[in-house]
Structure 1
Amino acid sequence: MTRPTTSHNHTVWRSAWRRHSILLFVLVSCLSDESNGLSSPQPSPRRTTPAEALSFEQFQFEANGVCIQPTYFLEELDNDNSAEGEAKLTRTFTMRNVPGTGDCMFQAVVLASLTSMGLGGNDVLLRAISRETRAVVAQILQSPDGNLNIDGNRIVPARDLLVSAARQEGLSPQDYLSKLQLEGREGGLYGGGPELTVLSNVLRRPISIYELKPGQSSLVLLSEEDNTSSCQVQCQGVFGDRFADPCETIPDSAVLSGLQPGAYSWHLHILVLDVASTGEKHACVLLPQDTPSTSSTTANGREVAP
């Protein structure tokens, strides 16, 4: 598993999801073409044939990056206690995009964090904070002492994580740190497993990575009147799953009850989408809209070509 190569304005995804040992674990590399940024509305998506899988180009966005087609992204949750034939628990998300300039994973984490505090973020702000985020990650990785949590009770020395990541790139640790602090458009490294591990520790928050559920070639129409639709997503892995929301220990927390759905989520959710026209991938932000329920919004919908 290697990181992508880059040629100024575009980058190529070459990684997949799998479990490794404490040092060689899930690695995510998120790269996308600058033309896929969401500062401007996207063109109307093309129709697909049944054999084609859903991809980034087939989605429609508002000028602010809010995805309007599909309107909702649904995750079916495992419910070991449910009886046979009982409806599965479903979590509903909306989605916001970030510019595709090679920093999409960093910017997606930044936007998810801002949104969780009830704040917004324009492209200029996201770019500025993602630059600083790169510097913070590099500072943590070069720490001579100290450990980082991977997941559960598994920890790894920060220095060992840096050495392992640099070795996989064929770089020295110092060169790795230097490239990490460059923006994507400058040929810098892109957000992968080591960086997401550090970010989950710095933020003290779990970060889940999602992909579209395989086998989907069309959206599910929920309402013709409202022109709403949905598709399904699957969680591929969680970084820092031990970090719990401190507000959950506060009875009747004003933070949890005082913000609109989707405006607060201690747990950050990132969706990685295929860009079929280029073979690349792009990261976006998933915003939870409710608590998991058994009333699946796909139950009464019908499939439509996006």
Structure 2
Amino acid sequence: MLPESCQPGPIHDDPPGIERARPCSLAVVIPSYNRAEYLRDAIDSVLAQDHPDLSLLVMDGGSTDGSIEILRSYGDRVAWVSEPDEGHADAINKGWERTRSEVIAWLNADDCFASPRAARLACQYLAASPETDIVYGDCHWIDERGDDRGIAYAQPFSLSFAVVTADHCIPQPASFIRRSVVERVGALSLDVFAKDREFWLRAGLHGRIDYWPRHLADQRNDEGISYLGRRVAPAIVEVTRSFYRLQGVPEDLLRLKPRAMSNAHLRAAYYAWAGGRQWDLYLWHLLCALASDARNLPRIRWHFRRYVGESLGIRKPQRPIPA
């Protein structure tokens, strides 16, 4: 069993004075590369915001699918740049560097804000809670037509829980970040595929992250999960390794590194299973989980029975083993 400190964090209510707070200025960056099919929805959701001090910048990676024509159709209502980049994180970082707001965010080109007041409410929260560095709310899955498919996974943030269980529970489209956080801990990493997860842990080590249960954004899931296994599985493990290379990791978390690495491999094994039943990758991460912390065997055994059993049509165990 994990210590009591390794539990999900608190759910935050409205901070005092939020209704009267003047929202912090906000810059939203949309990175895009050949996403013309959904780009207009993302842009329109930002332009529809009632935030009084909001700027939008689209960072296009040199699209050839009609995205440039869409961007030109907005005239001077949308600032945009089209140039080659080194990937998603590079485009976002360059976009943030070009803006000067107190708060920054990014929407992927196939995501959108949930309502016209979403950005204002989040920035009012930060204005009324100056000790908060990042606030995030709920995010819903939407399909290719924009129909709601239910709430995406989110959980109150706790650094120790996120690290030790490899449970990186922050939905990126519903997240709003003080610029001072990036100035303090650095921008998104270009070296990690799961760049948002790595950033949340780095930011959480040096600042406060609040979960505020408000529906702030929608995330499109039109590709399904089949592409995830080979890319996300090793990235989950690398996020945990990267965290333990940082300076200033608390002693209690250092002592729990074997369990954290074991659970990271279990999380990776899940993505290998969910991403097309990639059994070689699944079994590799299961063995790595055992090698990282043999005391995690009950949870590893449960994991094997749960996912292999389901694939073989065998009744799966009912209750998960705590991390």
For Structure 1 versus Structure 2, the TM-score category normalised by the shorter chain is: under 0.3
Q: TM-score, normalised by structure 1?
A: 0.27
The structure richer in helix per residue is: 2
Q: TM-score, normalised by structure 2?
A: 0.26
The structure richer in strand per residue is: 1
Higher Cα radius of gyration: 2
- Which has the higher relative contact order, 1 or 2, with Cα contacts under 8 A spaced 6 or more apart? 1
